[in-house]
Amino acid sequence: MLDSTTLVALVLGLLEGLTEFIPVSSTGHLLLAGHFLGFESAGRSFEVVIQLGAVLAVLTVYAAKLVSVIRAAPHDPRAFRFLVAVLVAFLPAVVIGVLAHGFIKTVLFETPILIAVMLILGGIVLLFVDRMAPAPRYDDAMDLPLNVALKIGFIQCLAMVPGVSRSGATIVGGLMLGAGKRAAAEFSFFLSMPTMAGAFAFDLFKNRDVLDASALGEIAVGFAAAFVAAVLVVRWLLGYVSRHGYALFGWWRIVVGTAALVALLAGH
């Protein structure tokens, strides 16, 4: 029989895994769910560590492709350029994330109304882009030029505002810059690996003095749930968006954001 705290950790872990790689803002969902469930970890360590479960999920799913690209890079210019493109796209998040870390964690993460509003606005943007994105010029994530990758990297930094969505920002950026729907999602997956691993390591270092060892059980439950759920989502998502696009996720954001905003304004 699970106690209430473990059950909440399980729910939040599943929520993280289900939402990390779709453009709906996993951080926004986690923070709003934690707010309404009365759950808060020291230094947001729980929310940070369970994201590593999602990182390992995408590494598991893409392990074979990642290894083949790395092995090919020394003698294949296309593979080498793709690895460089991912690293170039990662750099803006490193610089801005380090400089703005304190403001993000102590102000933006503690403003539920902002998160709800960003969910709604992001949903509207996603619906618009899904219909109005230019004709794709790059049908394979490995063909994105370095300048396009860098622009996607800067756009990714918008997701430091909770509720915007890292995957949503990178996918929308990719679509508007000429990537096809599948290519935009796949580049977002690869970019998530260094971005989320870097954020995890930096947050862990910054919060090393406030980590609560007594919460390791809850973190383990959330971590495992996030890993399993994320594996299922990553395997499903590319096929879905290739056939149906991103409209479902735009409406999802609007419904969740509106419900949260109404509840917050009602005093909950």
**pTM of the complete model:** 0.86
Euclidean distance between the first and final Cα of the chain, in Å?
29
As given in the structure block, the two tokens for residue 132 are: 């109005």
The tokens describing 42, both together, are 């020291």
CA distances from 97 to 42, 101, 150, 198 (A): 20, 5, 16, 10
* Closest residue by Cα to residue 17 from 247, 200, 228, 160: 228
Question: What does the alpha-carbon distance between residue 137 and residue 222 come to, in Å, rounded to a whole number?
Answer: 39
The average pLDDT across 66-95 equals 94
C-alpha 249/C-alpha 246 separation (Å) is 6
- CB count in 10 Å sphere of residue 251: 13
Q: Could you report the per-residue pLDDT of 91-149, keeping only the tens digit for each?
A: 999 999 888 777 777 767 767 898 999 999 999 999 999 888 889 999 999 999 999 99
pLDDT (tens digit per residue) in 27-62: 888 888 888 888 776 556 677 778 888 888 888 888
Q: Which of 181, 189, 156, 180 lies closest to 90 in space, CA to CA? A: 156
Burial class of 20 by CB neighbour count within 10 A (0 to 12, 13 to 18, 19+):
buried
Residues in the chain: 268
Residue written as tokens 């923070």? 31
Q: With 60 as the cut, is the pLDDT of residue 2 above it?
A: no
Domain boundaries, the chain: 4-265
Q: How far is CA 266 from CA 36, 211, 263, in A?
A: 12, 33, 5
| Confidence band of 5 (pLDDT split at 50, 70, 90) | confident
How is 120-184 classified by DSSP, letter by letter?
HHHHHHHHHHHHHPPPPSBSSGGG--HHHHHHHHHHHGGGGSTTS-HHHHHHHHHHHTTB-HHHH
